[in-house]
Structure 1
Amino acid sequence: MAVGQTSFPDMPVIEGIRLGSAKAGIKKPDRRDLVVIEIAEGASVAGTFTRNAFCAAPVLVAREHLAEKTPRYMVINTGNANAGTGEQGLRDARACCMAIRELTGVPYDAVLPFSTGVIGEPLPVNSICFGLPDALANMGDDSVAWQQAAEGILTTDTRTKGAVATCEIGGQSVTLNGIAKGSGMIRPDMATMLAFVATDAAIERSLLESLLRESVARSFNCITVDSDTSTNDACMLIATRRGAAVAGDDEIAAFREALDKVLIDLAQQIIRDGEGATKFVTLEVSQASSRQEALDVAFTVAHSPLVKTALYASDANWGRILAAVGRARVEDFDVARVTIDLDDVRLVEQGGRAESYTEEAGSAIMAREDIVIRIALGRGESAATVWTSDLSHDYVTINADYRS
């Protein structure tokens, strides 16, 4: 189940990037579950990772290797998270890096491992190593290779997720391609969420890191399906430096806009494919005293089981939204100044139900697949937008049966 219709975009070639995938039988036979991304020499690479204290072994190894060398390969497996696996998990993640070294000759610490799937089970290293030669033999740089890679990183997702953007830098066209996976355990904090974005732009690593952090804050860190922060979240940005240089203010602004477009597109696709989702919900909080205050209010509403189940039922139970706003971490809250709208229908003003509100109007909005909830706090000029989904019977079913 997913909200709305999407199709995988045509991915242009990014010079300096090749992708390969294989069916390694990690959890299920005859499905793509292993992906290798090859990065040409001279690239810049930046990453953001989960801040979960029980971060997975591949996250620890990827952070360590990224700090030591510019990566030449990324290895991603699905079907097993290699999280909660202790020292053995670290040895297994490093074994996958060593396998790439033996097959390609690159330094072991120029390989970044990524895993997604069930937590707490040993990584099937033999299956991964068995599949690596096939993944390397199937390397390509065209749209088919990108789509197969997007397929190879999925878990409970029902569809692949890809996004493309271009911008003009110094009279040259710069391209960004991105793929992601994520459907449940989604509340990135940097879900089981992974994202890989590549561009042909020439960008120094320090600037690339800054741009990625800022864009992740506006995209992946503004989505939630179920409020659970994964042990394995990662978002990687690769600049192959084969195209136009991004250095001046105008170039940076143009690239930032394109990067935001890709990451927000991918983030919203994750919500539209949320486990059991039937609604795509945008929460816009304005007139806050700070952006953090706006985010606190938005996430309090987005995480409310009562709000989410009302959304699933198309029930215009606006009191649940009001109650969630009221329990957010806001000091000296003057509820008389708060307004709450459901799309263009005013729900709340002056501390209670708006005089213009009718159940018929509210129910008509709640019956839609795409819903906007607007909350104005009357406290300042800051704002934030968060995207979420509803909570359905299918969400419970999917997660009750996840390990079967």
Structure 2
Amino acid sequence: MTGNHDALGANPDAEGALTRAQGFSACGFTAGIKESGLPDLALLVSDHPATAAAVYTQNQSTAAPVHISKAHTANGSLRAAVVNSGNANCATGEQGLADAREMTQLTASLIGCEAEEVFVNSTGIIGHYLPMDLLRSAIPQLAPASDGGADFARSIMTTDTFQKEAVASFEANGVTYTVGGCAKGAGMIHPDMATMLAFFTTDAPVAAGALESCFRFAMDRSFNMVTVDGDTSTNDSSVILANGAAGGEPLSGASLEAFGSALLDVSTALAKMMARDGEGATKRISITVSGAKSWNDARDVARTIALSPLLKAALSKYDPNWGRILMAAGRAGVPYDLDQVSIWISDLCVFDGTATGVPEAEASQKTQGDEVFLRMDLGQGDAEATAWGCDLTEEYVRFNADYVT
């Protein structure tokens, strides 16, 4: 990884991550969709057709652009991604579908490709038609550049307080390859990808089947392990383009594993940034569940704990109430023997079959930083998984009571 991607906020070392890989260009633009006047239109372009893989929201109230992009990514190849912020183009019927298609057509005309080679998405407020007059004027003006990755990342933001970018490199067969990514999301975050968007690029040559496998593995262990408020967005989408611009033969074996590791590093860094940027949050919560019979069991328990509003609220006020960890874990649907369970808050074991007697004040001290580390061992096996969330504060309620993009 380049720079400190475990940082709680933005990482300046990764600025422009999306276009660090060879053969990619991007840009951001102010089309006028947002009343704030902030950038609200972004374009990513590969110099030539790229192998592509994508995962999408499982929410049944799926936004129009998700339907279009699902069809466009079915053949495993893309040239570009166009995204607007400030309007989700969701619950907009046939007009919404037509508008999303037109966005891909306008983009295809600009860069010289087929509309079916363009990924499209939108993020923002639900239930409003896209202002197509603005987009018809803006898209032909887009001018992607090799140093435009940061502008892309900035233009997809809605309630985010900082850009989320990460980059990694790896060597395979004597060639150095790059994986870059950016994401947006701070609220309506509980991804279930079978208002979070993520984009990845790599100049490594990766065959379609291998890319799909590596991408789904990384998404399951990064974005699908994050929760802010338990609400799965109508527009959740994550896509990767692999254009092979750095050369070499399609990755396989150890080389493919190196790519998968770099991709997981980047996606995990972005996921952790998203958890820290939760609306109204003051701290990130990292929950590791170990000693499980399977990774799926560990995942289910970790995600359930991370989602608990009672635990999140307690931690916002430095209350080390480990009983709320036990309560949440117990409803995850994973059988375990309570007598075999142990719980840690940072390096303090507060429960080991029974309470360990750690003074509350001492445990409270461990919850007062920018990140709280929790661990629960089920005492059943060797599998473990980590989920990330954030505390729940009064500011979250105020923000969402007043929210308009």
| TM-score calculated relative to the size of structure 1 | 0.94
Corresponding residue for residue 177 of structure 2 = 174
CA gap 1:66/1:250 in 2 versus in 1, 3 angstroms: same
Corresponding residue for residue 208 of structure 1 = 211
Residue pairs, 1:76-225, within 5 angstroms: 76-135=83-142, 137=143, 139-142=144-147, 145-190=148-193, 192-225=195-228
Please give the secondary structure, in 2, of the residue aligned with 1:71: strand
Corresponding residue for residue 370 of structure 2 = 369
Query: Which digits, 9 at most, give the CA deviation of each residue in 1:21-69, with x for residues without a partner?
Result: 2100112253110001112224211111111111111010001112247
Matches of 2:230 and 2:179 in 1, distance apart?
Answer: 29
Shift in Å at residue 116 of structure 1? 0.5
Residue pairs, 1:247-326, within 5 angstroms: 247-326=251-330
Shift in Å at residue 211 of structure 1? 0.8
Please give the secondary structure, in 1, of the residue aligned with 2:43: strand
Which moved further from structure 2: 251-260 or 22-31? Answer: 22-31
Shift in Å at residue 284 of structure 1? 0.5
Matches of 1:380 and 1:272 in 2, distance apart?
Answer: 30
CA gap 1:43/1:104 in 2 versus in 1, 3 angstroms: closer
Between Structure 1 and Structure 2, how many residues are aligned? Answer: 394
* Percentage of matched positions with identical amino acids: 40
Please give the secondary structure, in 2, of the residue aligned with 1:353: coil
Shift in Å at residue 363 of structure 1? 0.9
Asked whether the equivalents of residues 69 and 109 of structure 1 are also in contact (C-alpha less than 8 Å), the reply is: no
Matches of 2:292 and 2:264 in 1, distance apart?
Answer: 23
Asked whether the equivalents of residues 246 and 255 of structure 1 are also in contact (C-alpha less than 8 Å), the reply is: no
Corresponding residue for residue 243 of structure 2 = 240
Corresponding residue for residue 4 of structure 2 = none
Which of 60, 66, 71 is equivalent to 1:53? 60
Asked whether the equivalents of residues 52 and 230 of structure 1 are also in contact (C-alpha less than 8 Å), the reply is: yes
Matches of 1:4 and 1:43 in 2, distance apart?
Answer: 32
Q: Where do 5+ consecutive residues of structure 1 fail to align?
A: none
Which moved further from structure 2: 90-99 or 210-219? Answer: 90-99
* Matching of residue 400 in structure 1 with residue 374 in structure 2: no
Query: What amino acid is aligned across from residue 145 of structure 2 in structure 1?
Result: G
Matches of 1:24 and 1:113 in 2, distance apart?
Answer: 16
Matches of 1:249 and 1:284 in 2, distance apart?
Answer: 29
CA gap 1:292/1:225 in 2 versus in 1, 3 angstroms: same
Asked whether the equivalents of residues 10 and 165 of structure 2 are also in contact (C-alpha less than 8 Å), the reply is: no
Matches of 1:127 and 1:389 in 2, distance apart?
Answer: 36
Asked whether the equivalents of residues 9 and 277 of structure 2 are also in contact (C-alpha less than 8 Å), the reply is: no
CA gap 1:250/1:80 in 2 versus in 1, 3 angstroms: same
Query: Which digits, 9 at most, give the CA deviation of each residue in 1:96-116, with x for residues without a partner?
Result: 122223434422222221100
Matches of 2:315 and 2:220 in 1, distance apart?
Answer: 26
Shift in Å at residue 327 of structure 1? 2.7
| TM-score calculated relative to the size of structure 2 | 0.93
